[in-house]
Structure 1
Amino acid sequence: MDALVTVAVIIAMVALGVLLLHRLNAQDDQRIAAFRYSAALPVRGGRRRKRRRPADSAAGHHDGNRE
């Protein structure tokens, strides 16, 4: 009889743990769904990409001959 009560208590505790984990996961899923991952980032003013200047033919070219 004691073994039956022990098994019933263990099964009840496992079921309670499963229910608790299920509720916590559902709450976390709602929090993730509410967060907007695809929101555009704010644009910072004053920063521009530097453009590369084309290399001059005399300054940028090096064929290995030093004179």
Structure 2
Amino acid sequence: METVITLAAGALLIALGMLLIHRLNAQHDARIAAYHFSDPFPAISRPPGDGHHSSTGQAPSRRVTGYRP
């Protein structure tokens, strides 16, 4: 009988933990949806146009991504 009670208590704790995590995720998703993100930094945004080099014959400018191999 004690084993059944222990298993039921464990299952109840797991269910409560799952419910808590689900509610926290929903709250976090609501915050993200309500937050207005700003425009990206100019250094990492794409130049106007189709993203290809300009028609003046100059080499395309290198985009800064923050990645270093």
Name the TM-score, length of structure 1 as normaliser. Answer: 0.55
Q: Which has the larger radius of gyration?
A: 1
Instruction: Specify the alignment match of 2:37 in structure 1.
Output: 37
Farther-moved stretch of structure 1 (3-12 vs 30-39)? 30-39
Provide runs of 4+ in structure 1 moved above 4 Å: 38-41
Cα shift at 1:39: 5.2
Structure 1 unaligned segments of length 5 or more: list them.
42-67
Higher relative contact order (CA 8 A, sep 6+): 2
Name structure 2 gaps, 5 residues minimum.
42-69
Measure how far apart 1:22 and its partner are: 0.3
Percent sequence identity is 49
Q: CA RMSD in A?
A: 1.9
Structure number having the greater helix percentage: 1
Which residue in 1 is equivalent to 2:22? 22
Note the C-alpha offset of 1:37.
Answer: 1.5
